[in-house]
Amino acid sequence: MSPQRIAVLGATGSIGGSALDVIARHPDRFRASVLAANTRVDELLDLCRRFHPEIAVIADPAGFHRLREGLRAAGLKTEPLAGPEALAEAAASDRCETVVAAIVGAAGMASTLAAARAGKRLLLANKESVVLAGALLVREAEAHAARIIPIDSEHNAIFQCLPADRALHDGVHRLLLTASGGPFRGWTRERLAGVTPEQACAHPNWTMGRKISVDSATLMNKGLEVIEAHWLFGLPPERIEVVVHPQSVVHSLVDYVDGSVLAQLGNPDMRTALACGLAWPERVSSGVAPLDLAAIARLDFEPPDRATFPCLDLAYAALRAGGTAPAILNAANEVAVSAFLQRRLGFLGIPALIAATLDAVPDSPADSLDVLQAADAEARRQASALITRFAN
Ligand code: NAD
Ligand code: MG
């Protein structure tokens, strides 16, 4: 059997690196045939020298020349491509059967959707595209027989705990998403006012990209995940709950009507979810250490502090409002997090800016990608204009 050919979009990121680590452990089964990055040409070239992909894409067109010359100098046959459109082209091309969607933010939308439309096995880490256009993405995946395997650890856990046959999902009472609580669990609003990007990015359990690290610190990550769970598993918001679990060992749970609760456990290392997605329904080693429950000794659970971390309820409200509201929420959050990382906005300004943007941009029914993208653009414009009101 020839190896499964895999496109890793966001190859230079945290998830991309974990995916390539698992791929490299199983050269007989997996081959990285497409590698894509945003701006870091040198890192992409290093990966090309290591994995010899058929295609390398640099999203930033300014990097094309260096990429092409670097590939030539290394004597590689890899075809260089550049520009945002090339991401979607490569994802849909016949050079891959599987796409790891690991670009951060709404920038991953077009390539994620292209992979779904091309009927690929879609290992979905790029949660923002599900928040932005979940209904459309799931519909297109179904129409083109693309298998979505969630990579977000919570959704991957739920995917593993649910019966494969959708008809049997009637027996599900609710989904329980676990949240670590982030680096500021237990803090008061007063203490949060002065936190820095470095503090927010120092996650207690996971090493991740900066955007998702800030999202974890505000609890917006969990809010985005509630919306993601709604679209991936088809349950209404009132049957998707969040419980804080500081050890990040129980990755999420499915509560059935008969009182059975199934959970997936493991060390907090994204290679487990990636190995699961790459090999599904088989299992392959991932390099993750076996779980040592006696060493962990205890597992704690507590309710989220919704008053101190209002992003969670902002996300629930956007999901309930429906239409373009989740797209507006996501866009405002991306603007807010980026401003926070650039020290143009305080930590408490993040939920404030998102709430103000949701107030300023009217939501409407979302019947097409055009409508969603227009809402995304308008929310970014409004959020950018509103920043000064909340700047520190
Ligand atoms: P990261 O910042 O480490 O990496 C992001 C990757 O996306 C990089 O390779 C970068 O080159 C690429 N990228 C950024 N902007 C781009 C653009 N405009 N065009 C093309 N490529 C672009 O982020 P990450 O932590 O790996 O997260 C990636 C996605 O996976 C996010 O949606 C995140 O929410 C999700 N996720 C991450 C984790 C984790 O443990 N890191 C867990 C669950 C879900
Ligand atoms: Mg997660």
Is residue 383 a contact partner of residue 359, using CB atoms and an 8 Å limit? no
Whether 392 shows a pLDDT value over 70: the answer reads no
Nearest CA to ligand 1 atom 42: 152
With tokens 């690991």, the residue in question is 102
- Measured from the alpha carbon of residue 210, the closest ligand is 1
Q: Is 298 exposed, middle or buried (0-12, 13-18, 19+ CB in 10 A)?
A: exposed
- pLDDT above 90 for 58: yes
| Lowest mean pLDDT across 204-208, 237-241, 263-267 | 204-208
Residue 96 has pLDDT above 90, yes or no: yes
Report if pTM > 0.75. Answer: yes
Among all bound ligands, the one having the nearest atom to the CA of 223 is 2
| Ligand 1 atom nearest to CA at 105 | 32
92 pLDDT more than 70: yes
152 lines ligand 1 (CB under 6 A): yes
Q: Is ligand 1 within 6 A of the CB of residue 12?
A: yes
Ligand having the closest approach to the CA of 63:
1
Question: In this predicted model, what pLDDT tens digit does every residue of 114-128 receive, in sequence order?
Answer: 999 999 999 999 999
208 lines ligand 1 (CB under 6 A): yes
Residue 264 has pLDDT above 80, yes or no: yes
Encode pLDDT of 291-319 as tens digits: 999 999 999 999 999 999 999 999 999 99
- Is the separation of the CB atoms in 250 and 265 below 8 Å? yes
| CB within 8 Å of 114: residues ≥ 6 apart | 87, 88, 89, 91, 92
Residues around ion ligand 2, judged by CB within 5 A, are 152-154
pLDDT tens-place string over residues 324-382 = 999 999 999 999 999 999 999 999 999 999 999 999 999 899 988 999 999 999 999 99
- In percent, the amount of the chain with pLDDT more than 90 equals 95
Min mean pLDDT across 109-113, 164-168, 259-263 is at 164-168
